[in-house]
Amino acid sequence: MARCALITGITGQDGSYLAEHLLSEGYEVWGLVRGQADPWVRGRSELAGEIRLIRGDLLDQGSLIAAVERIHPDEVYNLGAISYVPMSWQQAELTSEVTGVGVLRMLEAIRTCSGISGSRTPGSAQIRFYQASSSEMFGMVDESPQTERTPFHPRSPYGVAKAYGHFLTQNYRESYGMFAVSGILFNHESPRRGPEFVTRKVSLAVARIKLGLERQLRLGNLAARRDWGFAGDYVRAMHLMLTQDEPEDFVVGTGVTRSVEELVELAFSLAGLDWKEHVVCDTAFVRPADVNQLCADPGKALAKLGWKPKTSFEELVGLMVESDLELLSTPGDRRPPSFSSDVW
């Protein structure tokens, strides 16, 4: 029988790539969707019609229990979150509830549906759980590169909420013997990235400027450094983590760090533009507390998972610029296709 996976955050960047990957591995894939509107995966997946949907919300414990009871998944990937760091200052309580306490609700849904009670019973839970932890937990780092043992010093309500979810996942593993793991993923991007994140903001602006639709791009901290990889590569690591014999946490990144300025320079040059003629620094985009630099040491993932990234930074930025040039050059209705299946 096909293995069955439930993905929260199916409408997001990673949800779509993970769903495609699991479908290609022969999985039955379910996605949790919230709200009343007819959901769709923002045209992100050719395979949208093959994904089954169930209604639920990380704010609503009952809906998560009902989803797990209905589907009986072999694996749960908790990707749902408020994931945009600046929003986490504007809606700190909501971020804590969704990105942080949402992890507790999902773990509790699995625990209760698996009939696990107070005592530690190793291996008793059949449902394997993946938590989308983040390099934002490292925050203000005093060692580089960062490993699974680097201490956390989160710099935003988002980073704090992720640290809570991370420790809780570890705690449920240790308390109840659940197969619950965290992937500490560094920034990963794609043509499906939300337009508010810096890579996509830049690739969209390059396309607009190239096509004469705009002249200026306003950005915040150009000195910030990130370890940027391709989302399509990173979802393979998520899946590999749930196929291990023992539940363990892994850092996933490329091990190479670049500044926002380097990103901008490359993206503009790919379109034959000089970034200095178009980019303006605007304090409106500077954060109350930024993470100045992050760089992964993915050594454990390379050695134990046999995972490694296939897409270079240059290829990634090229993909994004090319995709946005095509997107903005194409006239007509680019509304994405609907899911063909019903929503539970």
Opening angle at CA 258, ends 304 and 191, nearest 5: 80
Nearest distance, CB of residue 180 and ligand F7E, angstroms: 19
Indicate whether 198 belongs to the interface with ligand F7E (CB under 6 A): yes
Out of 8, 11, 78, 83, point to the residue binding ligand F7E (CB under 6 A).
Answer: 83
Indicate whether 89 belongs to the interface with ligand F7E (CB under 6 A): no
- Residue closer to ligand NAP, measured from CB, 132 or 209: 132
Using an 8 Å Cβ cutoff, are 136 and 146 in contact? no
Tokens 């000195």, residue located: 223
Active site residues: 134, 136, 158
Indicate whether 136 belongs to the interface with ligand F7E (CB under 6 A): yes
Indicate whether 219 belongs to the interface with ligand F7E (CB under 6 A): yes
Indicate whether 260 belongs to the interface with ligand F7E (CB under 6 A): yes
Indicate whether 187 belongs to the interface with ligand F7E (CB under 6 A): yes
29 binds, among ligand NAP, ligand F7E, none (CB under 5 to 8 A by kind): none
Nearest distance, CB of residue 291 and ligand F7E, angstroms: 6
Indicate whether 20 belongs to the interface with ligand F7E (CB under 6 A): no
263 binds, among ligand NAP, ligand F7E, none (CB under 5 to 8 A by kind): none
Stretch binding ligand F7E (CB under 6 A), from 20-28, 31-39, 219-227, 303-311: 219-227
- Residue closer to ligand F7E, measured from CB, 85 or 168: 85
Phi/psi class of residue 288: alpha, beta or left (left: φ > 0; alpha: ψ in -120 to 50)? alpha
- Residue closer to ligand F7E, measured from CB, 53 or 184: 184
Rounded Cα gap, residues 96 and 77, in angstroms:
19
Using an 8 Å Cβ cutoff, are 131 and 180 in contact? yes
Out of 43, 197, 208, 244, point to the residue binding ligand F7E (CB under 6 A).
Answer: 197
224 binds, among ligand F7E, ligand NAP, none (CB under 5 to 8 A by kind): ligand F7E
Out of 8, 96, 131, 134, point to the residue binding ligand F7E (CB under 6 A).
Answer: 134
Question: Would you state the structure tokens that stand for residue 139, as one six-digit string?
Answer: 């925050």
194 binds, among ligand F7E, ligand NAP, none (CB under 5 to 8 A by kind): ligand NAP
- Residue closer to ligand NAP, measured from CB, 99 or 176: 99
Nearest distance, CB of residue 112 and ligand F7E, angstroms: 28
Residue nearest to ligand NAP (CB): 12
Out of 277, 285, 310, 337, point to the residue binding ligand F7E (CB under 6 A).
Answer: 285
Q: Give yes or no for a cis peptide into 145 (omega within 30° of 0).
A: yes
| Residues lying near ligand F7E in the complex (CB under 6 A) | 83, 85, 134-136, 186-187, 196-198, 201, 219-221, 224, 226, 260, 285, 287, 290-291
